[in-house]
Structure 1
Amino acid sequence: MTKLEELKKHLKRGQVYRRMDLTKWSKSVDHHLESLVSEGTLQKVSPGMYYFPKESAFGNTPPDEEELIRSFLKDDRFLLTSPNAYNSLGVGTTQLYNKRVVYNHKRHGEVMLGNRKFSFRIKPHFPKKATPEFLLVDLVNNIETLAEDQEKVLKNVLFKVESMNAKKLKHSVLEYGSLKAKKLFGPLIETKKKHTRYHNF
């Protein structure tokens, strides 16, 4: 068995590998990587990152986005989202964006991974999962970037607050809200809390 064949035995389909990951199985990693890419076993997705495709009836499948990001960051503390997620809130956003946003603690800027562009943004705080409360706050944080009528969307956001959990929304505003979001949501949350207490009395 050749050294290249030995290296192949360690590779698992669907996995994304960094060059440094393969050094434990190869003393000639650059030569072996060149061979693996040229024969189609691995696909290069960005400098120093490679993907071993899964096979399906329709051909090779692309790498899982979260797996790509996890390998790129060498960290699993991130949140992958998109402006398209705002459309689930029912506040008048309907545009579809070819944009993926990655909140994380390490990288900032636009990065191409494979044939997909990701917008990495360093944030001190973000949830593990994009909840409706987080998305509503995130929408207000990024309202200037949206193609819709911003005034109309913000009016709908004010109505949306009425149907949301005040405690969860307050937590999201305090943890993830910009100054603008805190100014917008603050009075509404307090009014909603007082209203709730009155009706529970």
Structure 2
Amino acid sequence: MTISKKIEDKVKKLPIGTTFTYQTLSVKSDEYAATAKTLERLIKKGVLKRVSTGVFYKPKQTVFGELKPREEELLKNYLFENDKRIAYITGVSLYNRLGLTTQIPKVIKIASRDKRISASIGSLKGKPVKSYIDVSDKNYYLLEILDALKDFKQIPDMDKRSGLLLLANEIKKWDNKDKKLLLKYALKYPPRVRAILGAIVEVFMDNDEIKPLKKSLNPLSQYEYKITEDILPNAKNWNIV
């Protein structure tokens, strides 16, 4: 079997809309030239699209035209290092995906603990922000919720009642291990995050489990979210105004 045929067969087996690299195709060092020519030919045929240098995907065609991969997929090479997650998408792009806003940002925020990650893929731009916790595949979705609570007041065009309900329902779906980990991570976030998280989970978690959150807060401090008691009945318990 020729190198070209071997590469074409591998490309056929790849999922549509998933980005891939030469490494994904397990290309040997002496096969790069032939592989590059094969990929270029597939691009000209419209079978593949190039995301950036050395990164490709199989486009999905719909009745509305070509559907591009999700932002998470396009930024995969920036979010992972040696197959380990080191970053996640946050900010308005995340809040849009969570259903908290319909706004679409011009620049995507990429959160990582130890690296400043900037990205530029065509019109897609990413800028670095620092995460509060070391990021992994086992915890990034917890950090996403904490980020949403941190930025709750700034999320554009969001209905606060619907936003709180959506976040509460997301947390309720998790097992107790994840819920406890969420509370543990919250201790690294600003006090206002701990306060609103405590008010949310107080109705479906044990008092002993949320006690560290309550204890971490200054009883004389108030946390301005402009949330009334008809939206969050126990807001006063957590000094939320």
TM-score range (shorter-chain normalised) is 0.5 to 0.7
- Map Cα deviations across residues 101-142 of structure 1 (whole Å, 9 max, x no partner): 2213565243122432222335351652222x43232468xx
Unpaired runs of 5+ residues, structure 1, are 148-155
Q: How far apart are the structure 2 equivalents of 1:188 and 1:79?
A: 33
In structure 2, what residue type is equivalent to 1:68?
Answer: L
- Map Cα deviations across residues 76-118 of structure 1 (whole Å, 9 max, x no partner): 34322223639x9x9xx99763332221356524312243222
Q: How far apart are the structure 2 equivalents of 1:94 and 1:7?
A: 40
Query: Alignment RMSD, CA only?
Result: 4.6
User: Would you say the 8 A contact 1:137–1:172 is kept in 2?
Assistant: no
Which residue is 2:76 aligned to?
A: 70
When you count helix as a share of all residues, which structure comes out higher? Answer: 1
Distance 1:77 1:109, change over 3 A: closer
Distance 1:196 1:77, change over 3 A: same
TM (norm. structure 1) is 0.58
The answer to whether the aligner puts 1:98 opposite 2:106 as a matched pair is yes
Decide which moves more: 101-110 or 31-40.
101-110
Distance 1:135 1:6, change over 3 A: same
Classify the secondary structure of the residue corresponding to 1:5: helix
Which residue is 2:202 aligned to?
A: none
Which residue is 2:40 aligned to?
A: 34
Which residue is 1:59 aligned to?
A: 65
In structure 2, what residue type is equivalent to 1:14?
Answer: G
Which residue is 1:3 aligned to?
A: 3
Q: How far apart are the structure 2 equivalents of 1:189 and 1:62?
A: 50
Classify the secondary structure of the residue corresponding to 1:102: strand
Which residue is 2:125 aligned to?
A: 117
Classify the secondary structure of the residue corresponding to 1:41: coil
Q: How far apart are the structure 2 equivalents of 1:191 and 1:169?
A: 22
Q: How far apart are the structure 1 equivalents of 2:42 and 2:70?
A: 20
1:100-179 alignment to 2 at 5 Å? 100-105=108-113, 107-123=115-131, 125=133, 127-129=139-141, 130-131=144-145, 133-138=146-151, 171=184, 173-177=186-190
Shift of 1:16: 0.5
In structure 2, what residue type is equivalent to 1:175?
Answer: K
In structure 1, what residue type is equivalent to 2:111?
Answer: Y
Unpaired runs of 5+ residues, structure 2, are 169-179, 195-215, 224-233
Classify the secondary structure of the residue corresponding to 1:187: coil
In structure 2, what residue type is equivalent to 1:99?
Answer: V
In structure 1, what residue type is equivalent to 2:70?
Answer: D
TM (norm. structure 2) is 0.50
In structure 2, what residue type is equivalent to 1:46?
Answer: S
Which residue is 2:211 aligned to?
A: none
Distance 1:56 1:139, change over 3 A: same
Q: Equivalent pairs: percent with the same residue?
A: 21
